[in-house]
């Protein structure tokens, strides 16, 4: 199913490991460069901005090809061409993705444009054919994006699959009417929990390393979906939008106590589990979930003015950070505040230096150019220390 050479995928993993070892100081830069030189590799871009530039270039190329097809199609049969135009554009995207894969492009930017363009045009084509029937659109996009990930190992395609699969669940539950819309939060919660443990177990038993980042993305998506599925704000607003329930003052949605408890308990469960397992992504998600939980309360109950709430929140966060650093800074094992050798923070340090320099108006010292007069060797005039003229 995978179009890419698996040996090149393994080499990519080895090159990433060499980069991590060099960042941690276990090997020198020369050794890392030697390893990369000895390993055949894909044509790819690790720099995000450069990759974005190639993506825009690829999008321009893709649109140009589709424009030529449109001119030919509208001049031949303008009425029937509208029904098949997006299918042809999607076929162009699939053909372009296959071409770049055979040319050993992987994560380059050009291939991204054709893969995402193919999925977008396929979704539009299905929407035109089915007259905007959401469930069919979600099913076709989910299947196509999953196949694109399996063939090209394209992470953004997997993200599209996760979103489309969730949409399949939502629109599928809508087919059951009011009952389906009522139990949608609980079904979504079970769906997210089931796929979370499935992806977690698959990661633990993984043999092909090139599937790791895709499974990690799906695993993280399940964490976010699980929290949002029963968040009080999300459930209440969707109940108003989908069921047309008008919540009067003094009244609340059914199972409001459960949704309130879920909104605040789950982020702290994420936080504790992240600290126990040293899962950095779950830790970030827990912080975002805690922030959204606080926003959920303030959305309905503004106890304090926003400036007072932000000030108090900042003081609390500062106190937590300060005492956590004091507690962890001397730890050698487990949770510690010491730098992680395997994850270089040079970018953060450089950003800090830039902020300090711009704040205090510091300027780099100009290096004085060396004198053209070479004293000490007798190379200009007269006798030098070597006794030569």
Q: Which residues pair with 105 in a beta bridge?
A: 43
Tell me whether residue 108 is in a domain.
no
Q: What pLDDT shows up at residue 353?
A: 47
Burial of 185 (0-12, 13-18, 19+ CB in 10 A): buried
Q: How far apart are CA 134 and CA 118, in angstroms?
A: 18
Per-residue pLDDT averaged across 353-372, rounded?
A: 48
Tell me whether residue 177 is in a domain.
no
Which candidate, 6, 7, 9, 26, places its Cα nearest to that of 18? 26
Residue 222: both structure tokens together: 């399940």
Of residues 200 and 12, more confidently modeled: 200
Of residues 345 and 202, more confidently modeled: 202
Q: What are phi and psi of 43, to 5 degrees?
A: -85, 105
Instruction: Return mean pLDDT, the chain.
Output: 81
Q: How far apart are CA 151 and CA 57, in angstroms?
A: 23
Predicted confidence band of residue 149 (pLDDT cuts 50, 70, 90): very high
Q: By the 8 A CB rule, do 7 and 68 touch?
A: no
Q: How far apart are CA 254 and CA 277, in angstroms?
A: 35
For 19: left if phi > 0, alpha if psi spans -120 to 50, otherwise beta; the answer is alpha
Strand, coil or helix: 371:
coil
Tell me whether residue 322 is in a domain.
yes
Q: What is the DSSP string of 299-362?
A: HH---S-HHHHHHHHHHHHHHHHHHHHHHHTT-SSSS-SS--TTS--HHHHHHHHHHHHHHHT-
Q: What pLDDT shows up at residue 378?
A: 52
Read off the pLDDT of residues 158-208 as tens digits, 9 standing for 90 and up. 999 999 999 999 999 988 888 888 888 999 999 999 999 999 999 988 888
- State the total domains in the chain: 2
State yes or no: pLDDT of 7 exceeds 90.
no
Q: What are phi and psi of 337, to 5 degrees?
A: -95, 0
Of residues 363 and 319, more confidently modeled: 319
Strand, coil or helix: 189:
helix
Q: How far apart are CA 156 and CA 115, in angstroms?
A: 9
Query: Which range in 34-38, 72-76, 172-176, 249-253 is most confidently predicted, on average pLDDT?
Result: 172-176
Residue 224 host element (H or E): helix 212-229
Predicted confidence band of residue 307 (pLDDT cuts 50, 70, 90): confident
Tell me whether residue 20 is in a domain.
yes
Give the CA count within 13 Å in the CB-facing half-sphere of 322: 6
- Record the pTM: 0.80
Tell me whether residue 301 is in a domain.
no
Tell me whether residue 2 is in a domain.
yes
Q: By the 8 A CB rule, do 174 and 193 touch?
A: no
Read off the pLDDT of residues 220-247 as tens digits, 9 standing for 90 and up. 999 999 999 999 899 888 888 877 777 7
Give me the helix-helix angle, 110-129 and 134-152, nearest 10°. Answer: 160
Predicted confidence band of residue 142 (pLDDT cuts 50, 70, 90): very high
Read off the pLDDT of residues 80-138 as tens digits, 9 standing for 90 and up. 777 788 899 999 999 999 999 888 888 888 999 999 999 999 999 999 988 888 899 99
Q: How far apart are CA 294 and CA 360, in angstroms?
A: 35
Q: What pLDDT shows up at residue 332?
A: 63
Share of the chain above pLDDT 70, in %: 82
Which candidate, 249, 266, 127, places its Cα nearest to that of 185? 266
Domain hosting residue 324, numbered range: 307-337
Which candidate, 109, 116, 107, 113, places its Cα nearest to that of 41? 107
Q: What is the DSSP string of 11-23?
A: HHHHHHHHHHHHH
- Residue 197: partners with Cβ closer than 8 Å, 6 or more residues away: none
- How many other CB atoms are found less than 10 A from the CB of residue 68? 11
Tell me whether residue 50 is in a domain.
no
Query: Which range in 45-49, 115-119, 372-376 is most confidently predicted, on average pLDDT?
Result: 115-119
Which candidate, 131, 139, 89, places its Cα nearest to that of 114? 89
For 361: left if phi > 0, alpha if psi spans -120 to 50, otherwise beta; the answer is left
Q: How far apart are CA 118 and CA 124, in angstroms?
A: 10
State yes or no: pLDDT of 285 exceeds 60.
yes
Q: How far apart are CA 195 and CA 275, in angstroms?
A: 22
Q: What pLDDT shows up at residue 339?
A: 64
State yes or no: pLDDT of 11 exceeds 70.
yes
Q: How far apart are CA 101 and CA 152, in angstroms?
A: 7
């Amino acid at each position: 199913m995978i179009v890419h050479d698996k040996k090149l995928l393994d080499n990519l993993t080895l090159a990433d490991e060499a980069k991590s070892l060099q960042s941690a100081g276990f090997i020198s830069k020369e050794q890392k460069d030697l390893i990369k030189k000895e390993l055949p590799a894909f044509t790819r871009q690790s720099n995000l901005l450069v990759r974005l530039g190639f993506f825009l270039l690829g999008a321009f190329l893709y649109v140009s090809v589709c424009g030529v097809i449109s001119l030919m199609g509208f001049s031949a049969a303008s009425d029937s061409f509208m029904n098949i135009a997006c299918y042809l554009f999607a076929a162009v995207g699939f053909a372009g993705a296959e071409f770049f894969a055979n040319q050993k492009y992987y994560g380059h930017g050009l291939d991204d444009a054709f893969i995402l363009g193919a999925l977008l045009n396929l979704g539009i084509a299905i929407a035109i054919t089915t007259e905007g029937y959401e469930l069919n659109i979600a099913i076709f996009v989910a299947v196509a994006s999953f196949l694109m990930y399996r063939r090209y190992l394209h992470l953004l395609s997997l993200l599209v699959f996760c979103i489309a699969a969730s949409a399949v669940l939502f629109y599928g539950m809508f087919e059951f009417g009011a009952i389906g819309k009522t139990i949608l939060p609980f079904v979504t919660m079970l769906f997210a929990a089931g796929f979370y443990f499935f992806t977690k177990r698959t990661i633990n038993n993984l043999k092909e390393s090139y599937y790791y980042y895709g499974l990690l993305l799906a695993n993280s998506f399940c964490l976010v979906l699980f929290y949002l599925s029963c968040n009080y704000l999300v459930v209440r607003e969707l109940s108003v939008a989908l069921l047309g329930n008008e919540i009067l003052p003094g009244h609340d949605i059914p199972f409001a106590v459960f949704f309130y408890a879920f909104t605040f308990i789950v982020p702290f469960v994420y936080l504790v589990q992240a600290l126990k397992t040293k899962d950095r992504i779950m830790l970030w998600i827990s912080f975002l979930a805690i922030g959204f939980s606080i926003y959920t309360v303030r959305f309905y109950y503004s106890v304090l003015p926003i400036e007072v709430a932000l000030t108090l929140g900042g003081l609390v966060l500062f106190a937590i950070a300060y005492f956590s650093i004091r507690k962890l800074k001397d730890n050698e094992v487990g949770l510690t505040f010491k730098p992680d050798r395997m994850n270089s923070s040079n970018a953060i340090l450089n950003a800090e230096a830039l902020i300090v320099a711009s704040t205090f108006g510091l300027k780099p010292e100009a290096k004085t150019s060396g004198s053209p007069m070479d004293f000490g060797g007798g190379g200009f005039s007269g006798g030098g220390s070597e006794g030569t003229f």
